[in-house]
Structure 1
Amino acid sequence: MSGSITVPGYPTNNRVPGFYFALDNSRANTASYGRRVLIIAQTTTGAALAGTARLSAGVTDAQGLYGVGSQAATMVAQYFALDPMGEVWVLPLADDAASVAAKGSFTITGPATASGTLCLYVGDLLVPTLVTAGDTAATIAENIVTAAASVTGLYATLAVDATTAGQVNVTALNKGLCGNDIPLGINLLGTAGGQSTPSGVAVAIAAMSGGTQNPTTLATALATLGDRVYDLLIHPYTDAASLTSFKTLFNNTDGRWAPMNQLYGHGITAFRGTYGDATTFGLTQNDPHTTVMPTSDSPSPPMVWAAQVGAQVAASIRTNPAIPITGVALTVMPPTDAGRFTLDQRNSLLHDGMSTFTVDDSGTVNIERLVTTYQENAEGVPDDSYLDIETLMTAMICLQDMRIYLASQFGGCILVADGTKIPAVAKATTAQLIGKACSARYNWQCSQFWAQNAATFAANIQAQNQGGGVVALLMPYDFANQLWVIAGNCQFVKS
């Protein structure tokens, strides 16, 4: 006999006549890991929920759990606006006990000599206030506070100053450094957008500042994530302590990218500042598992940018992780003309670990290129192996797919020496057969355009039986590239 067929669950000593069939799914597994993202941000309510990740049931759910206008609720809303089909989890954090809320102000002078609408902005949210001819500065200030109360999702509270007439104090809802990045503005759409200050009225703006200390509980909260797989971890933090916590979480040695964990994931955040600020910041970073988008002077806070970039990345991954994420629109408000990075500046940013965007003639912000902050290897030598986020996303999905495939094919197998003749029905294998299976799956991954050069992979894969039931694989992956540039020489003649 070439081998005996084993029917799972059927006793070989059965003598009762009949027809007995077992269902065996070992060759039928086509599943993949669920594609999900995790938003990490602060809450203004529900402190008891802080530090525990939970599945989001949508925008209303987030507002009820974490507080309207909180970082967590804002980022959930911004994410779902661009990726309504995504599976979103939230890891809420409480404001740190030692933190201070950022504060700013609008100071009004008057009286108004004509009626109109005063268009103030907290971040990218408009606070429209009716101004009537004859209104004093104090009256206008009180009306601004009243108008702000009707704006859903405002990132800050507004209150009339107790001592300075006409001054409206603005205080970030969440304490910490992120509040410093909430811009305050007036008439952002300009006269072309129907916005101008009523005659007789002037507004002086004091930018948000003074916010201190992002949550020190972040590292502890990240340590409780367990073994649930998240493709993306989206957050608003760019301080050194927070980014170090994420770098530790993801690292390839004992973090989520380590072979003993295989949980993977990638961090996405945003940084507000000038070109010089962004370059200086980028040069201090070096993490293959984090992407930072500089926002320049956009009225939209960095947490809004981070959530929207994350949503577009997540949607792209579900289509194909190797597709270049470029020319993809966001709904954030664009920077000023002066704040828009030039081609030379964007090229420099891409060499300094920072991603880039463009703004078209309609004022729409489009993702141009998303890179990681990784710039140098352990020897301090420039290294572009982890340059693009697409490389990391493709690697994650390829490795997850290969793991599922091999587990389905070889789980519970006897391992014997290479060259052993194994009947087709025997639950046994060799390292050589495992290597061939890897090549077959790699060939399929190439058909999905995740990888390339299947013949080279098959010729160079190594599978070694190292004894003790261990098979070591050296898989020479060649991930698909993204088309970024077409450069041509227009050589013309005159005749």
Structure 2
Amino acid sequence: VTFQVNASDTAAIVAANAAAAINAVGLPITAAVDGATAGKVDVTAVHKGAVFNGQEVTFATDEANALSAANTAVVPLSGGNGVPDLAGPLASLGDQEYDFLAGPYSDAVSLNAVREFLNDSAGRWSPIQQLYGHYFSTQYGTLSALVTFGNSRNDQHVTVIGSQRSPTPEWEWAAAAAAMASAHLGDAPEVSRPLQTLVLQGVLPPRDRSLWWDIPDRQALYADGIAGCKVRSDGLVAIDRLVTTYQKTAAGVADGTFRDVETMFQLMFVARYFKTAVSDKHARQALADDNPFNLAEIATPKSVRNTLIHAYNDLVALGVLEKPDLFAQFVNVERDPNDANRLNAYLPVDVVNQLRVFAANITAYLQYQTASGAAAV
């Protein structure tokens, strides 16, 4: 927000011009000259709730500016209370597929509502719904605060990006992350590639370089269920690793199976591919234990098993899964003992992983030695 400051302007004039300039831009805040102090501007969030608490409002330091720390004091926004009830808005999505959900709400109440909406037993990831989806959010805080928060969550369907501070509000971080994920995790083989190095469009890093995460900081975040980004030399914010908050099994045992968001979208792709393969091949077939006359209208556990093996090979060719020989060895399809119209299948899939670490031992020599001990020419 830019406005003119003249040498002869009093603090009251500067405050009035600042408030007018802020209101003219259409920001999610409004400004007014304080009723008791003419040289003070009060900024109020347009939206209700706690999400605006601590939102950065400060003077620009990347260009010549009449306002500076020497003559201007800035107090972060505070006083917001409450979080929205997300259950209703999420329920309004109905049975439509929404794979990429983004929101600034990363408090426990909001994430609990998202957990209920997406969970594996009765939510969109359940066998009954099979709608899937993933929630992207952002939270500002110190390293210790974010690590503590991450350890309080354990949901593979949620990704929370941690940052100490940013001029960019949380909802724009979340939207940028979900948008980048939607551009790369919706189809194969791109769904298997790590999102690392991709730039979050429109997102600015903390103004204070001391608040940028270093390598140990980011590693601590990932170990405790918080995703992280790094700042490039040109000042752009790039994804480093988008982890989920999942860290332990239901038994409390440490587990990295669903740590990375790429795995979750690979599983979405795999589940839908298998479903489509079986539906296309066996949608209007009868079911029998055997088909001795090879009738096209009859499905058997063996024929469905073969369909699944072919589908798995397709997914290997698409770069989503690997080790088809082991899948063919262990896949199992059998009729349900209590429902004659039902087939039960065990599908042990092995997803392609992401190259995140390259480790090398570099040993230095002034001169290589030949096998006989003489110096090589």
How far apart are the structure 1 equivalents of 2:104 and 2:61? 24
Residue matched to 2:195: 325
The 1:339–1:379 alpha-carbon spacing in structure 2 relative to 1, beyond 3 Å, is: same
Aligned partners of 1:436, 1:303: CA distance in 2, in Å? 46
Q: Distance in 2 between matches of 1:434 and 1:206?
A: 65
* 8 Å contact from structure 1 (residues 288, 387) kept in 2: yes
Match of 2:23 in 1: 149
**2:179 and 2:132 mapped to 1: Cα distance?**
18
Quick one: distance in 2 between partners of 1:413 and 1:199?
75
Distance 2:139 2:68 in 1: 36
Equivalences for residues 126-205 of structure 1 within 5 A: 127-152=1-26, 154-189=27-62, 194-197=63-66, 202-205=71-74
How far off is 1:223 after superposition? 2.2
Cα distance between partner residues in 1 of 2:121 and 2:69: 64
Residue 427 (str. 1) matches residue 297 (str. 2) = yes
Displacement of 1:129:
1.7
Aligned partners of 2:323, 2:280: CA distance in 1, in Å?
25
What is the rounded CA distance, in whole Å, between the counterparts of 2:143 and 2:20 in structure 1? 37
User: Percent identity at matched positions?
Assistant: 33
> Is 1:448 the equivalent of 2:318?
yes
Q: Deviations over 1:209-230 (max 9, x none)?
A: 11111112x1122223211111
Q: Aligned letter for 1:333?
A: L
Contact 2:54 2:76 in 1 (8 A): no
Q: What corresponds to 1:248 in structure 2?
A: 116
How far is the alpha carbon of 1:266 from its aligned partner?
Answer: 0.5
Aligned residue in 2 for 1:50 = none
1:200 Cα deviation from its structure 2 partner: 11
How many angstroms apart in 1 are the aligned matches of 2:299 and 2:67? 81
Aligned residues: 361
Do residues 274 (structure 1) and 142 (structure 2) align? yes
Whole-angstrom distance in 2 between the partners of 1:178 and 1:172: 10
The answer (yes or no) to whether the contact 1:295–1:302 under 8 Å persists in 2 is: no
For residue 305 of structure 1, the aligned residue among 173, 178, 197 is 173
Q: Secondary structure at the match of 1:328?
A: coil
For the residues of structure 1 that align with 2:163 and 2:171, how far apart are their CA atoms? Answer: 10
- SS of the equivalent of 1:484 reads coil
> Following the alignment from structure 1 to structure 2, what is the Cα–Cα distance between the partners of residues 229 and 165?
53
In the TM superposition, what is the alpha-carbon distance from 1:251 to its structure 2 partner?
Answer: 0.8
Unaligned runs of 5+ in 2: 368-377
TM superposition shift of 1:300? 0.9
Over aligned residues, Cα RMSD in angstroms? Answer: 1.5
User: Match of 2:135, SS?
Assistant: strand
Please say if 1:463 is aligned against 2:333: yes
Counterpart amino acid of 2:282?
F
Mapped pair 1:339 → 2:211: yes
Question: What letter is aligned with 1:317?
Answer: L
Shift of residue 485, structure 1, vs aligned partner: 0.8
How does the TM-score come out when normalised to structure 1?
0.71
Deviation, 1:188, is 3.7
> 1:198: how far off?
5.2
One-letter amino acid of the structure 2 residue matched with residue 280 of structure 1: T
> What amino acid maps onto 1:416 in structure 2?
A
- Cα distance in 1 for residues equivalent to 2:69 and 2:288: 90
Aligned residue number for residue 382 of structure 1:
254
Give the AA of the match of 1:337: R
SS in 1 for 2:354: coil
Other-structure match for 2:156: 288
Structure 2 counterpart of 1:47: none
Q: TM-score, normalised by structure 2?
A: 0.93
Residue 483 in structure 1 maps to residue 352 in structure 2 = no
Runs of 4+ aligned structure 1 residues displaced above 6 Å come to: none
CA contact (8 A) 1:187 1:197 kept: no
Q: Which consecutive residues of structure 1, in runs of 5 or more, have no partner in the other structure?
A: 1-126
* 2:359 corresponds to 1:359: no
2:83 counterpart residue number: 214
Higher strand share: 1
Deviations 1:43-81 (A, max 9, x none): xxxxxxxxxxxxxxxxxxxxxxxxxxxxxxxxxxxxxxx
**Alpha-carbon separation, structure 1, partners of 2:44 and 2:73:** 16
CA distance in 1, matches of 2:70, 2:122: 60
Deviation, 1:199, is 8.7
Contact 2:186 2:265 in 1 (8 A): no
> How far 1:181 sits from its partner (Å)?
4.1
Higher relative contact order (CA 8 A, sep 6+): 1
